[in-house]
Amino acid sequence: MADKYQYPDERGHFGQYGGKFISETLAHAIEELRQGFNKYKDDPEFQREYAYELKHFVGRPSPVYYAKNWSKKLGGAQIWFKREDLNHTGAHKVNNCIGQILLAKRMGKTRIIAETGAGQHGVATATVAARYGLECVVYMGSEDVRRQASNVYRMRLLGAKVVPVESGSKTLKDALNEAMRDWVANVDDTFYIIGTVAGPAPYPEMVRDFQKIIGLECIEQMPQEAGKQPDYVIACVGGGSNAMGIFYPYIDYPEVKLVGVEAGGQGIDTPYHAASINRGQVGVLHGNRTMVMQDEDGQVMHTHSISAGLDYPGVGPEHVWLKELQRAEYQVINDDKALQAFHDCCRLEGIIPALESAHALAYAAELAPQLSNNQIILVNLSGRGDKDMHTVAEYSHIDLDSEV
Ligand SMILES: *Cc1c(COP(=O)(O)O)cnc(C)c1O
């Protein structure tokens, strides 16, 4: 690529993907957001406050870390981690929430809404709402409320109101519809914080821009710590925000290969997976055109992954575009292999990774032995695994309440 990568276009398109597929009632809110984002994104005072918050509230920069034991054991390439697990609230999501709430304040909004599936985005949103003293309402499918009780409690501790959604399958996509309805009804005072690089334009671009700090830091850190830029950058892909965050600044480094890893669940030839790029079809979901897991009638399918954060039937439109440009490739890792990588990371490195991140780790562990020891694989360790204790214990048939 001789030309600099410059997407999306001014209408929010990444090739044929992205755009804004919204009802007329939302057109005004989206236009107001677009203007707000354009006004503040390069504003020095905005950037100064964003940088201050990342440093003092989130704890950035997050380090890069050489996983020496695991690399030695595998033989082959050096595996390095970008430690997003060390951020306040335990994952990358807070980077984006800080950016959006600063924008909300400048746009004069007093009320924050969000939707959440597993609860991680809800917690990050409730966290920044508390920090900035704004009212916060989080929509969550009632089935998810039941499954994710401790995250619901976290949000309530932080002062958010969690609204269980009883319609449809009572999960993420129903919560999303409710959040949209709320936004339409309360557009004057309400800001909708979307948690990944999806949604109608300008959200995919905006969320990417608030996450690109991950890759920008790596570009500075890797030559200092590892002596060169990585040969591979690997990240898990649910909606795709941690992956876009680390990929984006590397797009114009053509010698750095970018690999996204989707959730293969029980296998992509079964109905139980969440590999939208590898197995989905072009469709419209959450206000943008992208690859969607859908049946022959175009109905959005139920997805499955051992990690709740990857259990999403769409994917950010920019990933589909990067694949089409052949600038990134997208691999699949099944539940079993992610779980194995989770345990290896715990035992060999003393780091309990999020199950989402374990998908990226598993692919790195497959790739490393095929490379030489002067090559470097940089994995985005998107979050820590404390939240996944119950899931891992269940898979291992351990009852956390009775065994010590
Ligand atoms: C939410 C989450 C993800 C998936 O979201 P992306 O938008 O694909 O990054 C990945 N890792 C962790 C730790 C998460 O909490």
Nearest protein Cα to ligand 1, atom 10: 356
pLDDT band for 73, please (50, 70, 90 cuts).
Answer: very high
Active site annotation includes 115: yes
Joined together, the tokens standing for residue 36 give: 């707000």
3-state SS assignment for residue 16? coil
Strand partners, 111: 135, 190
pLDDT at 397: 86
Compute, in angstroms, the gap from residue 365 CA to the centroid of ligand 1.
20
| Beta strands 376-381; 232-236: pairing state | parallel
Residue of 322, 300, 323 whose CA lies nearest to 313: 300
pTM score above 0.75? yes
DSSP state of 65: E
297-306 confidence digits (pLDDT tens): 888 888 999 9
Compute, in angstroms, the gap from residue 307 CA to the centroid of ligand 1.
9
The average confidence (pLDDT) of the chain is 95
| Distance of alpha carbon 80 from alpha carbon 95, whole angstroms | 21
Catalytic residue among 20, 82, 93, 387: 93
Give how far Cα 137 sits from Cα of 96, 116, 124, 266, 399, Å. 17, 11, 12, 34, 33
The answer on pLDDT for 78 being more than 80 is yes
Burial of 267 (0-12, 13-18, 19+ CB in 10 A): middle
Token look-up 């010590």 returns 404
The answer on pLDDT for 160 being more than 90 is yes
The pocket around ligand 1, CB under 6 angstroms, is made up of 91, 93, 120, 196, 236-243, 309-310, 354, 356-357, 382-383
| Beta strands 13-14; 17-18: pairing state | antiparallel
The dihedrals phi and psi of 156, each to the nearest 5 degrees, come to -65, -40
Compute, in angstroms, the gap from residue 2 CA to the centroid of ligand 1.
31
DSSP state of 58: I
Inter-residue long-range contacts of 397-402, CB under 8 Å, 24+ positions, other chains counted: none
Burial of 106 (0-12, 13-18, 19+ CB in 10 A): middle
pLDDT at 403: 60
CB 202 within 8 A of CB 37: yes
| Distance of alpha carbon 359 from alpha carbon 236, whole angstroms | 6
Percent of the chain residues topping a pLDDT of 70: 99
pLDDT at 400: 81
Residue length of the chain: 404
Q: By mean pLDDT, which of 58-62, 168-172, 274-278 is the weakest?
A: 168-172
Average pLDDT over residues 105-134: 96
CB 289 within 8 A of CB 17: yes
pLDDT band for 275, please (50, 70, 90 cuts).
Answer: very high
Residue of 4, 7, 42 whose CA lies nearest to 320: 7
